[in-house]
Structure 1
Amino acid sequence: MNKVKSVMQWGKIILPLSSIRYYPPQFTLRNPLIEGVTNAFDAGHEVAVIVFKLSNQKDVIEQAETQQQHSKMLKNMKKLFQIVVEQEVNPKEFITLHDYYGEGITLLITVDHDRHSISNIDIIMKKISNEVAQRFMKLYSSVYPTFEAGYMFVDKYEYSIQDSILKAHRQAIGIAEKREQLEINEMLFAINKIITKKAITLLAQPIIDVATNEIRAWELLTRGPKGTALEAPLQLFSVARQTSRLYELEMIVLEKMFQQVKASRCRQDIFVNCTPLTLGNIRFTSDLKMLLQKYRGISPRKITFEVTERDSIEGLKNFAFNINVLRLMGFKIAVDDTGAGYASLNTISELMPDIIKIDRSVIENIDKNSVKESMLKGLLLIAKEAGSLVVAEGIENQEEASVLTRNNVDLAQGNFYARPAMFFNEIATR
């Protein structure tokens, strides 16, 4: 389908002062869009067409549980554009604001070269994008929308003003998409560089025996290159997944783990996250055996693979087979993020894990919430039935820790006990 829908179709036009009108298929010269551009040209001005495209639409969609909620979110976003544009753009320079059926939000403004420069338009685009994103975050705190913007000037010498507007709009969309593509290309370059150079860092956070307050194990946490857009694990692994480099990245994490365990002569157990996609890869067990041969002396019984519970294990045909092989090799299996994500009870019943890690969402403020404590007790009963140890994650204060003590939780982890730090440094000081 043509990316630019003709303004000859029904099109929503958002006018100043919150006036919303709909125009029929045949625009006439009294159309405010044509009139506004014509008046700007007659006054000796130029007209800029600015397009704002939502670049992380998938993230926004995933926050909506129903199509109705998604539609409401997008409507609210359009309203925010209307409000912000009225604040940021001089009414004398404003022509109109369009919604081209999902092709982004299009703003037309007059430009006086005596008072404006190209950088002025860039500033306007950034101000509007940032302000809309911040206001949207206040409505929906779980997602921060990001926009790519492009602009083009309407050619005043075209025979048809309407055709000239359409051409400028199409070009502005192209520029916005190229900016978005440029960011994607930069991300591709960055993840390829990380994998080629194995440029990741492993931090360690202790897992504490609640009864004795002794360190029983360490969870190793992955970070990308410091100070980059991929330093945080969420961005790092999401980009790797979307660029088909996830398996390579996770195998680098495992190799770094073996290197550091061997070098530090760590005596405690090690926990490491692994996605179901990697655990279900047909190459995984053979590649893991090669790592064990390369780093001899490390017992598989010291290693626990945390299966992140937010991902589904359905449809991964090699997953169950690989889990069985890992157990035969001596590795332990933990279900991570229990209580926070996808089908946790089903995952536990399928895996019968050695360890169940209870998510921070259950633990947070548990000392003030009797329902959460009841949830904890329920998960402890499930763990007992499955023969699993329990690790409570994300402990932030003494009050939360005391709830774990009175409920006889086995193990705990969180900043209350220790923040993640460089693995060698932590091992050396214990």
Structure 2
Amino acid sequence: MIRRYMEKAKNVMQWGKILLPLSSIRFYPPQFILRNPVLEGVTAAFNNGHEVAVIVFNLKDTNEITDQLSQSQYTQLIKQIKKAFRKTIESQIAKLDVITLEDFYGDGLTLFIKVDDANHCLSEINMIMAKIIYSVEAILRQQFPILQPEFESGYMFVEKKNYSIMHSVESARRQAIAMAEKRIKSEWNEMVQTIKKIIFKKDIKLLAQPIIDVATKEVKAVEMLTRGPDGTVLESPLQLFSVARQTGLLYELELLVIEKVLEQVKATRCRQNIFVNCTPLTLSNIRFIGDLKIIMEKYKNISPLQITFEVTENDSIEGLKNFIYNIKMLRLMGYKIAMDDTGAGYSSLSIISEIMPDIIKIDRSVIQNIDKNSVKESMLQGLMLIAREAGSIVVAEGIENEAEASVLKRNNVDLAQGFFYARPAALVRM
């Protein structure tokens, strides 16, 4: 009688969650027939202009662990794993950025999070995964010292263009699982082959976005932006570079981008300064300077003085022993160095003091709605002071309206780019 009553009470509690706000069912939500928290959260994120990342965490060596534990002990382990992940995620990620953490697909957990900055978030995702795994493993090793649990992870972004958001969610989840498990004959291998094929066929396209003089509104430079094959999941740069990074092909892809940029500069006879994005991982590669010289041999009419390498993403340069050396070599060869995302990441200010960039690009998170936020304007002034001390030119990114542009003008910002001035388009001679 008591048991039946408890089961009935549990069912009532589960179904009662249908009426709860999404914020109350972020962690291990029940599977509803009438309501899908993941679909609801992803749809809301898309409607508010965010990207959504799907991160999968898998327990390594599950078979070995189950051999060492009884059924009740294994159940307790899973319970503690879920508890540790929730505790860690709540401490590491802003509450409003967590869509759901769920455990529906098997032994692993799936975390859905909102990502604000669609263009510069790959290193952020890697950093989040590493921090979560480190913290969870530390908690569990104290509780289960003999087992020493370890986790593997993978991620993917939910495609916005698909006709069905739920289909995109399940596809992203499946690909994230494949990335985490790196299974033989899995989607992981297919994605490796897809990236290799893109690189071999040079199947990318480039768009140019002008960088404008704030005072005169003249075009002073252009930034080259990469897109994957038309009509595919990898057309989005977010998907393209995240898959390349996780499959170990980021360096090859970024070299291809450099070659395609030079090819288009030559074809259009463009004389503007050109900004080319590169991650610290690529810039620190021991082969980079030699490979760049080989590429430049094909384009002898293009001067290194015309090219600015833009250090993208907020990767820590700690442990990247060739990074500073390669930056110095690039400068000796005549290239300029720009620092992207300044004001957004934990490492950008420290990198500025290390490399003293020629150009500092202020992240759009500082610029967005700056006309309505005096604190942001003070941040801009502080970053400009740092830039002046470093002898750097300032570029403000993400300008979307005249009000934001007017704040830049009154603060004597050098250059700016954004939809207010021009949208990305094919490179033409200027």
TM-score in terms of structure 1 length: 0.63
> What is the Cα deviation at residue 344 of structure 1?
1.6
Name the SS of the counterpart of 2:257 in structure 1.
helix
Q: Which residue of 1 aligns with 2:348?
A: 344
Q: State whether residues 335 and 353 of structure 1, in contact with CA within 8 Å, keep that contact through their aligned partners in structure 2.
A: yes
Match of 2:314 in 1: 310
The answer on whether the counterparts of 2:57 and 2:109 sit within 8 Å (CA) in structure 1 is no
Identity among equivalent positions (%) equals 62
Unaligned stretches of 5+ in structure 1? 1-11, 21-51, 82-97, 105-128, 134-143, 150-172
Q: Which residue of 1 aligns with 2:13?
A: 18
Measured after TM superposition, the shift of residue 422 of structure 1 is 1.1
**1:354 to 1:180, Cα distance in 2 relative to 1, 3 A:** same
User: CA 1:362–1:182 in 2, change beyond 3 Å: closer, same or farther?
Assistant: same
Q: Following the alignment from structure 2 to structure 1, what is the Cα–Cα distance between the partners of residues 327 and 87?
A: 32
Structure 2 SS opposite 1:267 = coil
> Could you say what secondary structure the match of 2:341 adopts?
strand
Question: Shift of the alpha carbon at 1:342?
Answer: 2.9
Distance of aligned partners of 1:400 and 1:102 in 2 relative to their CA distance in 1, 3 Å threshold: same
* Residue pair 1:282, 1:318 contacting (<8 A) in 2 also: yes
Task: Provide Cα deviations, 1:234-275, integer angstroms capped at 9, x if missing partner.
Answer: 111111111111111111101111111111111110001001
- Residue aligned with 2:337, SS: strand
Distance 1:17 1:347 in 2: 55
- In structure 2, the residue matched to 1:410 is 414
Match for 1:214: what amino acid? E
| Number of residue pairs matched by the alignment | 306
Alignment correspondent of 2:294:
290
The SS at the match of 1:403 is: helix
- The match for 2:379 among 366, 375, 382 is 375
Say whether 1:241 aligns with 2:245.
yes
Match in the other structure for 1:332: 336
Q: Partner of 2:221 in structure 1?
A: 217
Structure 1 residue 56 corresponds to structure 2 residue 55: yes
Structure 1 residues 286 and 145: alpha-carbon distance in aligned structure 2, compared to 1, 3 A threshold? same
Quote the Cα distance in structure 1 between the aligned partners of 2:377 and 2:393. Answer: 18
Q: 1:182 to 1:420 in 2, by over 3 A?
A: same
Aligned to 1:40: none
Counterparts in 2 of 1:356 and 1:132: CA distance versus 1, 3 Å: closer
Residue identity opposite 1:385 in structure 2:
E
Stretch deviating more after TM superposition (181-190 or 411-420): 181-190
Question: Which secondary structure does the structure 2 equivalent of 1:356 belong to?
Answer: strand
In the alignment, the residues of structure 2 paired with residue 13 and residue 297 of structure 1 have an alpha-carbon distance, to the nearest angstrom, of 78
Mapping of 1:135-284 within 5 angstroms? 146-148=172-174, 182-284=186-288
2:246 and 2:281 map into 1 onto residues whose CA distance is 12
Larger-Rg structure: 1
Write the letter of the residue equivalent to 2:350. Answer: N
Task: Tell me how far apart the structure 1 counterparts of residues 404 and 228 of structure 2 sit (CA, whole Å).
Answer: 31
Q: SS at 1:422's partner residue?
A: coil
Compute the displacement of 1:130 (Å).
3.6
State the one-letter code of the partner of 1:366: I
Question: How far does residue 184 in structure 1 lie from its aligned partner after superposition?
Answer: 2.6
Whole-angstrom distance in 2 between the partners of 1:65 and 1:352? 39
**1:405 to partner: Cα distance:** 0.4
Contact kept? 2:215, 2:414, Cα under 8 Å: yes
Matches within 5 A, 1:30-49: none
**Range with greater deviation from structure 2 (212-221 or 289-298):** 289-298
Distance 1:368 1:15, change over 3 A: same
Deviation of 1:314 (Å) = 1.2
Instruction: Tell me the distance in 2 between the aligned counterparts of 1:241 and 1:99.
Output: 25
2:4 corresponding residue in structure 1:
none
User: 3-state DSSP class of the match of 1:395?
Assistant: coil
**What is the distance in 2 between the residues matched to 1:296 and 1:268?**
16
Does the residue aligned with 2:420 lie in a helix, a strand or coil?
Answer: coil
Partner of 2:143: none
- Bigger drift between 227-236 and 365-374 goes to 227-236
Conservation of the 8 A alpha-carbon contact between 1:337 and 1:357: yes
Check whether the contact 1:203–1:420 (CA below 8 A) recurs between aligned residues. Answer: yes
User: Which of 315, 318, 327 lines up with 1:323 in the alignment?
Assistant: 327
Answer yes or no: is the 8 Å Cα contact 2:370–2:377 preserved in 1.
Answer: yes
**1:101–1:238 Cα change, 3 Å:** closer
Asked if 1:360 is matched to 2:364, the reply is: yes
Q: How far has the Cα of 1:147 moved from its partner?
A: 3.9
**In structure 2, what residue type is equivalent to 1:56?**
I
Kept after mapping to 2: 8 A contact 1:309/1:342:
no
**CA–CA distance in structure 2, aligned partners of residues 130 and 14 of structure 1:** 31
Q: How far did residue 17 of structure 1 move?
A: 2.6
Give the match's secondary structure for 2:316.
coil
Runs of 5+ consecutive residues of structure 2 not aligned to the other structure:
1-6, 16-37, 39-52, 59-84, 111-164
Task: Find the counterpart in structure 1 of residue 145 from structure 2.
Answer: none
Alpha-carbon separation, structure 1, partners of 2:86 and 2:353: 28
User: What is the alpha-carbon distance in structure 2 between the residues aligned to residue 66 and residue 235 of structure 1?
Assistant: 26
Q: Aligned AA for 2:346?
A: Y
The offset of 1:145, in angstroms, is 10
8 Å CA contact 2:306, 2:335 repeated in 1: yes
Rounded Cα–Cα distance in structure 2 between residues aligned with 1:145 and 1:229: 10
Q: Provide the TM-score with structure 2 as the length reference.
A: 0.63
CA contact (8 A) 2:339 2:361 kept: yes
Whole-Å separation in 2 of the counterparts to 1:324 and 1:408: 29
Deviations 1:41-69 (A, max 9, x none): xxxxxxxxxxx9x973259xxx9994544
Aligned counterparts of 2:290 and 2:201: Cα–Cα separation in 1: 23
Contact 1:55 1:148 in 2 (8 A): no
